[in-house]
Amino acid sequence: MPPQLHQSSLPILNPLLRFSPPSSPDNPKHQTESKIKMPKFTVRKLIPLLIFVLSSLSVLRLLRISYKSSSSASKSSSSTTFRLSPAESSQHLRANEGPSALTEKEQKFLSDTIARRSPCNVLVFGFAPQYLMLSSINTRGITVILDDEPAKIMIPKAKVNPNNTRIYSLKYHQMEVKNAYNLLRHARANPTCAPKMNNLQQGSPHCKMELKDLPLEVHNIKWDVIVVDGPRGDNLEAPGRMGSIYTAAALAREGSSNSTTDVLVHDVHRTAEKWLSWEFLCQENLVSAKGNFWKFRIKGQSNASRFCSPETVLIRY
């Protein structure tokens, strides 16, 4: 007979720890705790974050490259300023001298022309700093420079040999480039514009091509070389070189047929310079060219009634 269990009178103590069975996956409480402890990241949610990170890195890299490039460029430009080669220095000088500046080839072309005839008498229409070198080449000759802008010709006296170089200010009496063709027609139709030196000396009012108020020594000297590089003539409203080319042609024809004058016209790529050079200096007298320089060799013929042979006139109207 089994022993009988007697009920104890001691109270039943509850355990300090309770262990509950694990919840089933279907239990809502289990799902909530899982979301808190292990958040789920889908691919769709990661894509915007990834794009943001990559974009930020790209922007930072671009800023870094730009900063390095600007720094290296500034260093390069500062060093280049002090390391210009002779050719680059000459180009930089020409870029700041305006429309009358000569290239290296043109400057050598002019220098060689004067050196072959030195000592000689040189007349220049138009001033540029490069023309001061003519004085050093033509040390025993005479160099006269005429320009219409007094501010340009205010240079230190040390740069000019006072014994053989003079610079004068000359007004061109409103001969604008836009009037070049009308002046050309006037010169053809007016007999007083014939290449006679007394027209220039007397200042005939009938020929509009004449330059007035020329220094007296311009008329009193027989010129071996005449350079036409002024006035500007670089736009329709600017003073043109009609009077300069006409005057150079008349002065070059002064004297006997045994004498010759080299006339060099700059900027012949421009229409007005071409027209006037063909009309008064003549194609048959063109002996050489370099860049935008044409050189004409004119024989003395003071009593000539016209500048060019009829066969060589190239401008028709």
Q: Give 239: exposed, middle or buried? Use CB within 10 Å, 0-12, 13-18, 19+.
A: buried
Instruction: Report the C-alpha gap between 156 and 165 in whole angstroms.
Output: 13
User: What's the fold here for domain 99-312?
Assistant: Rossmann fold (3.40.50)
pLDDT tens-digit readout, 293-309: 999 999 988 777 789 98
Instruction: Encode pLDDT of 54-92 as tens digits.
Output: 777 777 777 776 665 555 444 433 322 223 233 433 443
pLDDT of 13 reads 46
Is the overall model pTM greater than 0.85, yes or no? no
Does a cis peptide bond (omega within 30 degrees of 0) precede residue 231? yes
What's the chain's average pLDDT?
A: 75
User: How far, in Å, CA of 45 to CA of 62, rounded?
Assistant: 27
* pLDDT at residue 58, rounded to an integer: 74
**Residue spans of the chain under pLDDT 70:** 1-45, 65-100, 150-163, 173-174, 196-205, 311-317
**3-class DSSP state for residue 176?**
strand
- Give the span between the Cα atoms of 36 and 46, in whole angstroms: 19
